Amino acid sequence: MKEYPWYEIVEGKELLQGDILNSCPLIIPPLTIERIEEVDVIEYDVIVMSQSCDLVQKKLELVLVCPIWTLSEFENKNPTFKSPKMKESLRRGYLPGYHLLNKCEIDAFETDYLVVDFRSVYSVPFDFLLELAQQRGRRMRLLPPYREHLSQAFARFFMRVGLPVDIPPFK
C-alpha cells in the first residue's frame, strides 16, 4: 500500500498552507491607541491556514494562522482529554474547534500529536511571516492530503450555524 507521509521539512521564504512556524509573535492591540504604547506580545507555535494558491500568487496582505499545541500540553491544560474517549473523539473530528495532526517522526523534528485550535485565528502580515520563516530556518510542513483535510475541518468549524430555536430532541 502506498504511504502518505504527514510532514516534510522545508526552509526558505516560500510559505504554503500547513507550514508550521515556531514562536510566532502576535501583537495584541491595546484598548485605546496613544502615540506611544506599551503593547502585549504573545507567542504561539502556529500553522498557516491561508490557501496555498493565495500565498504563492501573493494575493494576500495578511496570512491566517492558528495556534498548535502538542496533545500532551493540551491534556495537561484540560485533564478531560486524558481519557481515551476524549482523545478518540478528537481524532474522529467530533470536536469542531480542534483538529488533530499526527506525530512527526522525522529526525530532529520529532513531536507528539499536535492539536490545532480553530477558535484562535490570527492574521499576520505576509511580509512579516515570510521574514519569520526565513529566520526560523528549517520547519515542518504538513503534506497532502492531510493539509486539505485540515483546511476542510477549518471550513466545517467556520460554517457552523447555531439555530436560535432548534427542533426539540426526540425522546
Binding site for another protein (CB under 8 A): 23, 26-27, 33-45, 59, 61, 67, 69, 73-74, 77-78, 80-81, 85-86, 88-89, 92, 94-98, 117, 119-120
Q: What are phi and psi of 152, to 5 degrees?
A: -65, -40
Q: What is the DSSP letter of 128?
A: H
Shortest approach of another protein to residue 40 CB, angstroms? Answer: 6
CB closer to another protein, 2 vs 85: 85
Contact 116, 98 (CB under 8 A): yes
CB closer to another protein, 136 vs 143: 136
CB closer to another protein, 66 vs 104: 66
Shortest approach of another protein to residue 65 CB, angstroms? Answer: 13
CB closer to another protein, 59 vs 138: 59
Contact 28, 13 (CB under 8 A): no
Shortest approach of another protein to residue 8 CB, angstroms? Answer: 24
Q: What is the CA radius of gyration of the chain?
A: 18
d(CA 38, CA 41): 10
For residue 168, give the amino acid letter.
P
Shortest approach of another protein to residue 10 CB, angstroms? Answer: 22
Query: Quick one: which H or E segment has residue 122?
Result: strand 122-125
